[in-house]
A and B are shown apart, each in its own frame.
Chain A
Amino acid sequence: MNNQSLRVAIVLITIVLISIVSVIYRGAKDDEFIRLLARSADMKPLEVRYRAADPLYKLGQSLFYDPVLSGDRSTSCSSCHSIDKGLSDGRQNSNNLELLSTVDVSTGDEVKSYRLRNSPDLWNRDHNDTKFLFWDGRLEIVDGERKIFATPFGSGFGDGFENILEVQSTFPMITEQEMNGAANKYSSETLPPPHGNKRNTYAGLNGAVPHAIHVKVVERLVGAGSYQEDWQGRYAAAFKDAFPNIATSDVNITHIGKAIGHFEELAFSSNNSAWDQFLLGDSSALSTEAKLGAKLFLGEALCSGCHSGALLSDFRFHHVGLLSEPIDVLGEELDDLGRFAVTGDPQDNFRFRTPPLRNVALSAPYFHDGSTESLRDAIKRHILISGDEGYYDQGRMRFRAAKMVGLSPLIRRTPRLNDQEVDYLIEFLRSLNGEQAPRSFIIPDKVLSNLQFKR
């Protein structure tokens, strides 16, 4: 090789090297740029939790999966929060309810009806960002330090509980359509002894005093007075292990709530997702498409206004234009008014709590009414709401302009996205799937009542 060829080769190699370095440099700057934006949306990586199956966890695990907690011994927490369905249940509507009521003019009696809502997932709900639970936020942390909670049952209901998960876990037993069961209903004859054909001792107390129902729940679990069946003895022993300083006769609903809440904290913490790893500095954790999706999510797609914070929810209430079919109660069409049912403020009509998005790809269907099957449709419905009335004529949903008063300003300004951009957003949402505890840690081999349960 002569001198001239050598010079040309050196120049070419230098140009190639400079190009490679500049591409890497630009890529690195781009990644840092996404991290900066994420920080401005308060998005932080989730901490990895230490998990140990202590006695309180074991008790909570059995209570979470045990149908014996329900009035007719048919329904457990896992019936609507299954690990196989992303801690929802895969159904459009479950028993997460809004109570509707109207007055029968002929008799003057109040007539109650219930609207079924989609079962919300339970991932990472112990996080400090969680301020409200339920789609309408009927359970609220008023003061986290002093452990004061607002519930539909008035002040004092949450006394003794440490966190919002503990309080929430005691709600389904109060509601007829969830775990309380119908009045005069007996458990199925096919249940193994001694659970078959037992009277529902919770029924008839519905909606009266939650305390009265909770007393029955405790009686059911550990026996009343000196009488205990074998399985109740196992529960009494488990309470003793979990709360060594509490006599069986002093067990109450807060102990049940504490155990279930503790189980949910550890079993349903999910972290170290690709997004978490990226936020912690590992740029290779996110694909190029997911990074483009993150930019859209944080930028012009306007998602991060509401889907902010570590769990990607502001835990506040917005009207995003999703109107469920009204239900007919005595000829009157009643809408699912969301937050209004809690506050009574007409400005809160059709507002629902922003759902957190951790593991969102696992918990279809979406929205409070479970009306959307896929992430793609969920994204598209955010985009189409303000502009495409025809979209609503094709499905169950109807676009009714009068009910769009109070529509979120961000929804009003959401730009059209093309299919490729929606793909990028989906990739970003998939990057939020975190690592989960092993199934063997979450699901018990059997529950203390020996009843069959949904996994």
Chain B
Amino acid sequence: MRKEFIRLLLVGLVFFSGYVLAIGVPKAYFMLYGAEISHAVQQCVVSERLKALDAEKFSIDDRLALDRQSRILLNYCHLIRSKTSSVSRYSTLSPNEIETLFNRLSNPRGSMR
């Protein structure tokens, strides 16, 4: 009876550890790096918004400015991605998914723009 109880307790501990590793650690990580992750995703979202303009016709001067800004934002996005590895999880998501994620992850007050 007593052995059975200890076994159950150990199983419970294993599940609890799993829970902590699966949910708690990412949450703690986000608490630490949340601002940077949000910021990175924000750059990615803005970058995607600029990409949407690619098909439109602009003057050469505007095109150069647009390309330069897109390049800087992509660098921004990639540099933070490499810095905070968890962001790389989001690199394969579509712009809409990134935006949804951004809105979910961000502090609602902080995301007011």
Contacts and interface: CB of A to CB of B under 8 A. Distances in A.
20 contacts: A33-B83, A37-B72, A37-B76, A40-B71, A41-B68, A298-B72, A300-B46, A300-B73, A302-B46, A308-B65, A314-B64, A316-B61, A317-B61, A409-B58, A409-B62, A409-B65, A410-B66, A413-B46, A413-B50, A416-B113
A410 B65 contact: yes
Interface residues on A, range: 20 to 34
Contacts of A409: 50, 53, 56, 58, 62, 65-66
Nearest to B65: A305
Contact of A306 (B56, B65, B71, B113): B65
Given A410-B65, A410-B66, A417-B113, A347 B59 contact: yes
Interface in B37-63: 39, 42-43, 46, 49-50, 53, 56, 58-59, 61-62
A298 B59 contact: no
Given A37-B76, A302-B46, A308-B65, 7 more contacts: A33-B83, A41-B68, A299-B42, A316-B64, A351-B59, A409-B50, A410-B65
A29 interface: yes
Interface in B58-107: 58-59, 61-62, 64-66, 68-69, 71-73, 75-76, 79-80, 83
Which secondary structure dominates where chain B touches chain A? helix
Nearest to B53: A409
A321 B76 CA distance: 27
A28 to B, nearest CB: 12
B6 interface: no
Contacts of B62: 318, 408-410
Interface string A27-51: 0010001001100110000000000
A271 to B, nearest CB: 24
A305 B75 CA distance: 13
Interface of A: 29, 33, 36-37, 40-41, 295, 298-300, 302, 304-306, 308, 314, 316-318, 347-348, 351, 406, 408-410, 412-413, 415-418
B69 A36 contact: no
Given A413-B49, A415-B113, A37 B75 contact: yes
Contact of A406 (B39, B59, B72, B112): B59
A418 B69 contact: no
Contacts of B75: 36-37, 40
A346 to B, nearest CB: 11
Contacts of A410: 50, 62, 65-66, 69
B21 to A, nearest CB: 22
B59 A299 contact: no
Contact of B68 (A308, A351, A408): A308
Contacts of B58: 409
Contact of B53 (A29, A304, A413, A417): A413
B46 A408 contact: no
B68 A33 contact: no
Central interface residue in A306, A408, A409, A416, by most chain B CB within 10 Å: A409
Contact of A418 (B46, B49, B66, B112): B112
A23 to B, nearest CB: 12
Nearest to B73: A299
Contacts of A314: 61, 64-65, 68
A200 B2 CA distance: 114
B61 A300 contact: no
A33 B79 contact: yes
A402 B69 CA distance: 26
Interface in B4-44: 39, 42-43
